[in-house]
Amino acid sequence: MANSIVPESSFLDNLLDDAPVDDLHQLMAFMLDRIMQHDIANRTGAAHYERSASRTNHRNGTRSRRFDTRLGTFELQVPRLREGGYMPPFLEHRSRSEKALVSLVLQALVSGVSTRKIEKLAAQLGVASLSKSQASALCEELDERVAQFRNRRLTAKYPYLMLDALYEKVRIEGKVVTQAVVVAYGVNINGKRELLGVDVVETESYESWATFLRSLLGRGLHGVKLVISDAHGGLVKAIGTVMNGVAWQRCKVHFMRNVMAHVPSRLKEEVAAAVKAIFLQMTREVALSLFRSVEAKYRKSCARSVQILEEGIDDALAFMAFPEPHSRKIASTNPVEHLNREIRRRTRSIGIFPTRDSAIRLISMILLEQTEDWQAEKAYISSESLVALYASANDDS
């Protein structure tokens, strides 16, 4: 069959000939769909259902994507590709956070935080000049969306909650200080990953973590079965106080780093393999049996490491009390760590945030977009197994 992809020169003529004209919203929806179909045909090398020797890829269903315009909101059915991702040409991927980045740079310039680094970044973004009123209007628009995201009601059950923090430099009252960005990430009853909360605080103290956790509960957080975090003293105390009765998983990745930090160089590879093997066992009983063997073998040569292992092994194996299909995904805060790396990548060029609000604005937009991406993906954990988790405990909370 001959290739039937419509050339660019005649595509718009055909589109306008076929388009409905009785309603602008309907016309826009029609045109957006046709543009996507045309673009995806060119990317795959074949029209829909066409057999073609020149085909380079295949369609793989669709995903829903919201698109806000001056004509209203459109719920697009964006085609998927079997190999690689696809974004329609009229959608600017992650546009909100890039807009937030522009507003941040503009705010820095207007506020007088004019460094070579900021000026270079502004030039790269095509920002030549902008009035204070324009910058203010742009920030207000983004701040409204950020507030909606950070203050939304949490109506679903969240069986698994992960907590972590990263640090950014912020200018406060004329001084550059380091601030903690605290992040809460959850898996909801439908098995989807979701960013639940974010805040910028002075330090990771018990008081700041307790306030943050209480804010999550105040927004409706419920049904939590397990909290996963590192062993920061203030955070662990806050979890025990505010999330009383909920199990705690000490992140096994952070735990292993703590253990390995005191192992002599000549034994690091050997001990690392032995400790990793503990976490790979199928049951807690077998894991503890292997732990005792490791403890006996290295007690003299790695006394401090064995002591850390002994003190923390129970908390680091908490995930084994949960269903096996879940356990490997809740044993550490790695999903949050990956997200932290993305935040750092996007904020690295900023260096110093001009205000606390500007830090919250940009980071919240990154988290909002990540949550939207997760909602379009398949479930992280099957919803059926999560429903069964509550049923097995006769839990109606």
Quick one: DSSP state of residue 157? Answer: B
Q: Which among 246, 244, 228 has a CA at the least distance from the CA of 336?
A: 228
Query: Quick one: pLDDT at residue 114?
Result: 40
Torsion, Cα 364 367 372 376, to 10 degrees, reads 180
Say how many CA atoms lie within 13 Å of 291 toward its Cβ.
23
Question: What is the rounded distance in angstroms from the CA atom of residue 148 to the CA atom of residue 145?
Answer: 5
Query: Quick one: pLDDT at residue 376?
Result: 83
Question: What is the rounded distance in angstroms from the CA atom of residue 191 to the CA atom of residue 152?
Answer: 19
Query: Quick one: pLDDT at residue 137?
Result: 67
Query: Quick one: pLDDT at residue 69?
Result: 61
Query: Quick one: pLDDT at residue 12?
Result: 46
Query: Quick one: pLDDT at residue 358?
Result: 86
- C-alpha pair distances (Å), 37 with each of 46, 148, 280, 336: 11, 34, 46, 36
Domain ranges in the chain? 8-81, 93-249+334-397, 252-332
Say how many CA atoms lie within 13 Å of 27 toward its Cβ.
10
The residues near 382 (Cβ < 8 Å, ≥ 6 apart) are 191, 325
Q: Which among 32, 44, 30 has a CA at the least distance from the CA of 86?
A: 44
Say how many CA atoms lie within 13 Å of 385 toward its Cβ.
14
CB-based contacts of 230-236 (< 8 A; 24+ apart in sequence): 230/164, 230/254, 230/333, 231/255, 231/258, 231/312, 231/315, 232/165, 232/204, 233/206, 234/204, 234/205, 234/206, 234/207, 234/208, 234/209, 235/163, 235/165, 235/204, 235/206, 235/209
- C-alpha pair distances (Å), 141 with each of 124, 261, 274, 310: 23, 47, 53, 52
Question: Could you tell me the two tokens for 273?
Answer: 């393999």
Question: What is the rounded distance in angstroms from the CA atom of residue 61 to the CA atom of residue 188?
Answer: 25
Question: What is the rounded distance in angstroms from the CA atom of residue 30 to the CA atom of residue 18?
Answer: 9
Q: What is the mean pLDDT of each run of 10 residues along the chain (397 residues)?
A: 46 51 68 85 81 82 76 80 80 60 56 49 54 64 87 96 95 92 96 95 95 98 97 96 96 95 95 96 95 95 96 96 92 86 81 88 87 88 93 69
CATH code, residues 93-249+334-397: 3.30.420.10
Question: What is the rounded distance in angstroms from the CA atom of residue 249 to the CA atom of residue 327?
Answer: 11
E-only strand ranges, 188-300: 193-201, 226-229, 247-250
Contact of 81 with 57, CB cutoff 8 Å: yes
Contact of 157 with 189, CB cutoff 8 Å: yes
How many CB atoms are located within 10 Å of the residue 115 CB?
Answer: 12
Q: Which among 316, 279, 333 has a CA at the least distance from the CA of 161?
A: 333
The residues near 271 (Cβ < 8 Å, ≥ 6 apart) are 259, 260, 263, 294, 298, 302, 305
The residues near 234 (Cβ < 8 Å, ≥ 6 apart) are 204, 205, 206, 207, 208, 209
How many CB atoms are located within 10 Å of the residue 28 CB?
Answer: 17
